[in-house]
Amino acid sequence: MVSKRFVAKRLLLLVPVLFGVATVVFAILHLSPGDPAVAIAGQRASQAFVEQVRTDLGLNDPLWQQYLRFLGDVATFDFGQSYQIQRGTPVSQILADRLPITIELAVLGQLAGLLFGLPLGILSAVKQDTLTDHLTRIGALSGISIPIYWSGPLLILLFAQFLGILPTSGRIGSAHFIDAVTGFILVDTLLAGDLPAFRSAFRHLLLPIVVLGIYQMALISRMMRSSMIEVIRQDYMRTARAKGQGEKITTMKHGLRNAFIPVITIIGIQFGALLGGAVLTETVFEINGIGTLLVSAINQSDYPVVQATVLVFAVMYTLVNLLVDVTYSVLDPRIEQ
């Protein structure tokens, strides 16, 4: 079991990392050549008005004051108001609306990756150096080499344009109106008891999940294969076989659990790639998550939104890795030392 001390230590280590992350975000925004005051006031505003906006925003204060104020705002989840995208709306509100969309996509993509990646990896390891193994490995390597912004359009072309059996973009058919309760569209449609809407939402999500899942599947099956090959050679596996246990049970009971541990670490490390993939997937399928939010915020110089979105992405990544560490210590108590 996890000791409270271990979790407390990991939580404590989180503080300097988050502090550093906030500092980097602050630095990036201040190094950007654009002027937030001009972005708010508009290109044609008078010099005096721009200056007024600048004073209001506190941009004339010494840098250290701005920095401290920024840290204070971040600590209280106050990210200010959007300049452009939804002018005047608190950024935290925009994020609350859009974050679930990205999380839903990322979680489903990850699950799809696990669902197909784990069995493939095990199969590949058990049948090491056979044709099955070679095909799986080449498939996995292709999976991590094909960019999402190519596989996505290809699938749209095939399933939406050519076969016409799946929608091309968006989250749900225009005929359905669903109240956002949780923000997760599959959950919300079920809560509303609207099965046709659920079906529509699922059909919209299918291609994005496949595109995002292919990459995860490829990563996971590769890691699972090499981890399983190591484990199969271990003494305790031989012992299990020697005591007369069937090959399948041995593999599943003793092999799987031990081989899965390094895979969890990879899932944590690669969660960043999953989020990057989600941004691209959202762009290809025109899904309004925080990925497309970030891209349009950068394009429109909406600094508060850029700041908050990048922070949220980094925090999600860090928290997932914390979770991975804790899970790891549950599965393998030796790690605490």
Partner 1 sequence: MSTETQTPDVERGIVERLRASPFLSELLSNRLAVLGLTLIGGVFAVAIYARFAYDLGAITSTQFGTNPTEAAPSAQYWFGTDGQARDIFPRVLYGAWYAMLYGTVTVAASTVLGVGLGIIAAYYGDLTDNVIMRTMDVLLSFPSLLLALALVTIFPDDLGLWRAVAALTLVYTPRFARVVRGAALKVLEDEYIEATRALGATDPRLLVRHVLPNCLAPITVQSTLNFGLAIIDIAALSFLGFGASPGEPTWGMMLSNGVEYGLFSGAWWWSFFPGLLLALTVLGFNLLGDGMRDALDPRMREAID
Token code pair at residue 39: 């972005």
Residue among 25, 52, 114 at smallest CA distance from 309: 25
Spell out, one character per residue from 101 to 140, where the chain touches partner 1: x when CB under 8 A holds, - when not.
------------------------------------xx--
Complex with partner 1: residue 13 or 249, whichever CB lies closer: 13
Tell me the C-alpha distance between 260 and 258, whole Å.
5
Complex with partner 1: residue 92 or 300, whichever CB lies closer: 300
Q: Does 273 bind partner 1 (CB under 8 A)?
A: yes
DSSP labels for 159-227? IIIIS--S--SSSS-TT-----SSS-HHHHHHHTT-HHHHHHHHHHHHHHHHHHHHHHHHHHHHHHHHH
Could you tell me how many residues of this chain bind partner 1 (CB under 8 A)? 49
Query: 3-class SS at 301?
Result: coil
Token code pair at residue 198: 């659920």
Complex with partner 1: residue 184 or 313, whichever CB lies closer: 313
Helix H or strand E encompassing 192: none
Token code pair at residue 192: 């509303």
Q: Does 142 bind partner 1 (CB under 8 A)?
A: yes
Q: How far is the CB of 147 from partner 1 (least distance, A)?
A: 5
Q: How far is the CB of 243 from partner 1 (least distance, A)?
A: 30
Tell me the C-alpha distance between 111 and 126, whole Å.
23
Look at the block and give the residue holding tokens 């044609």.
Answer: 44
Complex with partner 1: residue 83 or 313, whichever CB lies closer: 313
Q: Does 25 bind partner 1 (CB under 8 A)?
A: yes
Site residues for partner 1 per CB under 8 A: 16-17, 20-21, 23-25, 28, 31-34, 137-138, 141-142, 144-147, 149-150, 153-154, 156-157, 161, 168, 266, 269, 271-273, 275-276, 279-280, 283-284, 294-295, 298-299, 306, 310, 313-314, 317-318
